[in-house]
Amino acid sequence: MTRSAVRPAPVDFTVVQDRARAFAVSLRERAAEIVRSLSGYQCANVALDEIERSVDLLDNLHLNREHFGGKVGAVTTFLPLNQPLYATVCFGVVPSFMAEDTALRPPTAMHPHYRALADVLDLPAHFPELHVSYDDKEEFVARRAHRTDAVVFTGTPENAAKVRRSFPRRTLFILNGSGHNPLVVTETADVDLAVGSALRVVLYNQGQDCAGPNAILVHRERLAAFRETLLARLRDLEHRVGPYSDPDNVVGPNTDPDHALKTGRRFRDERESWVYGGEVNPVSGMIKPTAFEKELALGGNFREFFAPVFFLQPYDDDAELRRYFEDQRYAANAMYVSVFGHSPYVESLIGSPSHDADSILWDTDLHLAEKGYLPYGGRGPAASCLYVDGVRVPGATLPQRDIALHLVARRGGAC
């Protein structure tokens, strides 16, 4: 009998829920220790946010109850460089409830920091079926390749392709990439609301989060007010930019110190559009919050900075937004759009190849809308997708749903 024909073992969801909630209690009780364990890697506000997001998922796992119908053999997870705790819960802990064997590997650059976090979390005590590996990536892949039913990978499509080639075609491959995630500030926008969201999504994790916007498209009628309010808020935050060790700081050094050099060169290339900030320290890796302003008519920005950069792009009327969304560079990373006010053009994108209704956020932002029990991602192939029997299936991902639908259900469910 082939493994694909093996009927999945049942899942006792009552036990799953009890274990999830017990871990949520532990996270809250150890919050201060968790923040300290990550104080060499990220700002305290990010660690606290990760705790709250993790607890929210664990406490509300009943909303995904229908996905826990049976177990697969093995799940292998490759963690991203950011949000180590939340990624562990979403892509390691939750899948472990529906697998006999789950292994996760943090990126090499994160290993010393993840070890400190893992010591506090005490994962083996809570989840004996979940194993953390610090092995060389190639060794880890070789060891897991032929025993794995599902892979959860967060990273670039290029890196995903390299890893995917090492796993059999039958392996369910869940890819979480990145998107353009533009903010659109229309002529009817509440400027304070829009600026608040821009600060939240750009400054989070010093701009290294995949939810950060590559461009902030601002209607000319709101441009001066938006710019003035944004710069005033940034000046108010200047004393909270510095080392991770200061718990009051909200922007710290880039986790890749070498990235500061690349960013400095790019800032130089964009100097004609500069309006604020621009300070880069290649020794410490610090990239201070920076703002540029470039007419949308001169071309949209589709390159990620992986830094706290506000890239304002003024436009004159709603129809001009097509310059951004119909640019050939947009579709591959189509993910979310946050709209402040009303935009008939953006509304018309719903049902297009790039967007469904869930990917257009009105008067809110991705950080407020994202929940670990909801699908996350976009229709762009570099934003998120599944590979089912080697065939790419575009769209948002949710590991517990995807494993249930494409593995457990196809094997006939639990006994």
pLDDT digits (tens, 9 = 90+) for 34-48: 999 999 999 999 999
Token pair 């579709």 is at which residue? 331
Q: Please give the radius of gyration of the chain, using alpha carbons only, rounded to the nearest integer.
A: 22
User: Do 372 and 56 touch, CB atoms closer than 8 A?
Assistant: yes
Give the separation between CA 161 and CA 108, rounded to whole angstroms. Answer: 19
* pLDDT(361) > 60: yes
User: What are the sequence ranges of the domains in the chain?
Assistant: 3-177+383-411, 183-369
What pLDDT shows up at residue 413? 56
User: Does 3-177+383-411 match 183-369 in CATH topology?
Assistant: no
* pLDDT(4) > 50: no
Closest CA to 310 of 230, 239, 196: 230
Query: What would the DSSP string read from start to end of 322-349?
Result: HHHHTSTTTGGG---EEEES--HHHHHT
* pLDDT(2) > 50: no
What pLDDT shows up at residue 166? 97
Reported confidence tier of residue 360, pLDDT bands at 50, 70, 90:
very high
Reported confidence tier of residue 402, pLDDT bands at 50, 70, 90:
very high
Any bridge partners for residue 98, and if so which? none
Q: Can you identify the CATH homologous superfamily of domain 183-369? A: Aldehyde Dehydrogenase; Chain A, domain 2 (3.40.309.10)
* pLDDT(3) > 70: no
Burial 79-108 (b: 16+ CB within 10 A, else e): bbbbbbbbbbbbbbbbbbbbbebbbbbbbe
* pLDDT(344) > 90: yes
Question: How many of the other CB atoms lie within 10 Å of CB of 390?
Answer: 11
What pLDDT shows up at residue 6? 58
Contacts of 15 (CB under 8 A, 6+ apart): none
* pLDDT(163) > 50: yes
Give the separation between CA 379 and CA 395, rounded to whole angstroms. Answer: 4
pLDDT digits (tens, 9 = 90+) for 144-161: 999 999 999 999 889 999
Residue 222 in 3-state DSSP? helix
Contacts of 272 (CB under 8 A, 6+ apart): none
User: Do 257 and 41 touch, CB atoms closer than 8 A?
Assistant: no
* pLDDT(359) > 60: yes
Fold of 3-177+383-411: Aldehyde Dehydrogenase; Chain A, domain 1 (3.40.605)
What pLDDT shows up at residue 411? 75
What pLDDT shows up at residue 9? 87
Question: How many of the other CB atoms lie within 10 Å of CB of 120?
Answer: 19
